[in-house]
A and B are shown apart, each in its own frame.
Chain A
Amino acid sequence: MANRKAALVMSVALIAVAGCAKKRPPVLPPAPGESTTAPGTGGETGGQVGTGALPGSAEDFRRSVRSDTVNFALDSYDIDPDARAILDTQAQWLTQYPNVRVTIEGHCDERGTREYNLALGDRRANSAKNYLVARGIDAGRITTISYGKERPQAVGSDEGAYAQNRRAVTVVIS
């Protein structure tokens, strides 16, 4: 994670330099408080540098965060430690690009009835949203949509597929 963070900050800095004629480019907003990684360290890992993802783009988001997806336990909408770690990286990125808006999609596995799952998907999307808001992201930048069980990630009917399908996915609005 530290490497990714570093690479991200560096790539941002590089683009900022390239895109600005000023001698001293404006300093970009730092990552949220706990970021201590200095620009320029950990350079080659992560692959963002020179791969062409436009900063602030959906592609940049996906490459920069640990994951665009957090998963949930059965019939649950609790943000567990894994989800926290993922959402922290999302919050960090969103802090860096304050004009970017996102939609969080809430999804469920197929073991709930259709309408209940619409409500459960809404809960999951809002759980992720609330976490990001608590990390300092303006609630007005985040919309939610529930797909219930209509759009599974994995198409099987087994525990592995169900675990993948219980999710909230953060999507950058382009």
Chain B
Amino acid sequence: MLKLRMLVALSGCLALGPLVAQEAPPPAPLDVPQVAVPAGQDQAPPPLEVDVTGGISAPMPIAIPIMPTPAVQSTPAGSTDDLGRQMAEIVTADLKNSGLFTPLQPGQLRAVVFPEVTAPAYDYWGGTGAQALVQGFVRSNGDGTLTVGCYLYDVFSKIELARQGFVVQPSDWRRAAHKCADTVYTRLTGEGPYFDSRIVYVSETGPKNKRIKRLAIMDQDGANHRFLTNGQSIVLTPRFAPNQQSIVYMSYVGDQPAIYVYDLASGRQRKVVQGVSLTFAPRFSPDGRSILFSMAQSGNTDLYRVSAQGGSPQRLTNSPGIDTGGSYSPDGSRIVFESDRGGSQQLYVMNADGSNQRRISFGGGRYGTPVWSPRGDLIAFTRIAGGFKIGVMNADGGGEKLLTDAWGDEGPSWAPNGRVLTFLRSAQGSGRSQVWSVDLTGVNERRIGTPLDGSDPSWGPVRP
């Protein structure tokens, strides 16, 4: 069981927490009845917690009733009472999709009135079987923003565990719900947040021998989907910049396959490395200042790094063979990559300057597409041995574990908390691919819905 990190955090929750909206005005205090944080936590009953290592063995029953509003008002995102219903549904879906919770259906729960948000009807909730309770409210502010309050309660102990308030523009209303779900998730699991994040991927359509591929971006739950490129050129392997203001990817524009940076604000794209050589497999460094990539010259592929602004690349590997698929450790000090220098595609780790290269995969078959976990502890990969499977291993190569067992799973990308992975799953024959996710237990596997087929998903950081 994981330790709870609650005691100190709770007192900080009395004030509104950090707000999510970019350039949001300072938070107004929550004008709802405040409940005192219980004193003497050390005397409280055993704390509520979720066992994340056991995965779905004991998902926690949790209730997320519709969030009331102090006054029904229309907003560009809809009326505040309707938003309260949808927000409860979003929090419900996020927590359910994590595999660690079994939420009760919001529509079947007690209608919570506004003053009740901070004074839960514990006796009622105790009868529903829920161990935890999430209540909240939606309020439209005079300046056009929305305030969303989010409260987490332990039903058995009858104590408040966390509270957060978020002020958002109406267009960002879903983000407030995701932030609320992140508050609940982090408080109960001890894991980092990941619901308020986005995925960039390649949308696919058309016949297998003439696929049309477009960059697309969406929230991690598939909402707010939009296309970034028009499909005239093949695009592959997008990755977020750490600051999420740009995406590095590979494009065949002009029949000169090379890596490009796409600026999300302007929609402009620029080639990173000049010249006619094939450049591919781009990844930002954790500080965003460099791009790690592969360059093929005369049939030989090596790893290089280049300033994210462009300039002269620095060569990092120099072996005959294919060195590609590089990924930085979260502190930027090391790189994991794949190489066939030993005869078949295997994983290697080296220092960020290219020194001290050594092989870490020895499980049989081939290994590709390594990705270092944002927590630093694990490396995810594609293993090719009787099909493509997603697996993880410790950074030293030990502790290998396969998480999926399908025909064509490829290209894992970590959720920002390092506990969930997204990847592509392609179908035998048709080659059609979809975006999927799996958690570290390997049990909670599910498809992330996209309007068309999808491949090469890359999970972005938690939004500020």
Contact = CB atoms under 8 A, between A and B. Distances in A.
Interface stretch (B39-47, B140-148, B202-210): B202-210
Select the residue from A116, A125, A151 with max chain B CB neighbours within 10 A.
Answer: A116
Contacts of B220: none
A119 B325 CA distance: 11
B325 A116 contact: yes
Interface string A30-63: 0000000000000000000000000000000000
B324 A119 contact: yes
B294 A115 contact: yes
Interface stretch (B66-74, B87-95, B295-303): B295-303
Given A113-B384, A116-B324, A119-B301, A146 B257 contact: yes
Contact of B322 (A123, A130, A151): A123
Nearest to A152: B209
A114 B408 CA distance: 12
A113 B410 contact: yes
A93 interface: no
B294 A126 contact: no
Given A119-B324, A155-B207, A156-B429, A114 B296 contact: no
A150 interface: yes
Select the residue from B255, B324, B344, B426 with max chain A CB neighbours within 10 A.
Answer: B324
B382 interface: yes
Contact of A116 (B257, B345, B428): B345
Interface string A106-150: 000011111110111011011100100000000000010111001
A67 interface: no
**Range of interface residues on A (Cβ < 8 Å):** 20 to 34
Contacts of A143: 276
B49 to A, nearest CB: 38
Contacts of B369: 113-115
A126 B209 contact: no
Contacts of A72: none
Interface string B399-431: 000000000101100000000000000101101
B124 to A, nearest CB: 53
A99 interface: no
A153 interface: yes
Interface string A82-117: 000000000000000000000000000011111110
B382 A146 contact: no
A174 interface: no
A157 B429 contact: yes
A157 B236 contact: no
Interface string B349-372: 000000000000000000011000
A118 B280 contact: yes
Contacts of B237: 114-115
A155 B340 CA distance: 27
B368 to A, nearest CB: 4
Q: Is the interface of B mostly helix, strand, loop or mixed?
A: strand
A116 B208 CA distance: 19
Contacts of B280: 115, 118-119
A147 B255 CA distance: 10
Contact of B299 (A77, A112, A115, A147): A77
Nearest to B279: A118
A111 B407 CA distance: 11
B456 interface: yes
Contact of A122 (B296, B340, B388, B408): B296
Contacts of A156: 429
B368 A116 contact: yes
B296 A118 contact: yes
Given A114-B410, A119-B324, A157-B431, A150 B234 contact: yes
Contacts of A118: 236, 257, 278, 280-281, 296, 324
Select the residue from A77, A113, A119 with max chain B CB neighbours within 10 A.
Answer: A119
B219 interface: no
Contacts of A122: 278, 296, 299, 301
Contact of B431 (A110, A116, A147, A153): A110
A152 B255 contact: no
B345 A155 contact: no
Contacts of B325: 113, 115-116
B211 A113 contact: no
Contacts of B345: 112-113, 116
Contact of B236 (A114, A120, A127): A114
Given A112-B368, A113-B388, A115-B237, 7 more contacts: A113-B384, A118-B236, A119-B296, A122-B278, A146-B278, A150-B211, A155-B208
5 contacts: A118-B324, A122-B278, A126-B299, A130-B299, A150-B234
Closest 9 CB pairs of A and B: A126-B299, A113-B368, A122-B296, A119-B301, A119-B322, A155-B208, A123-B299, A115-B281, A157-B428
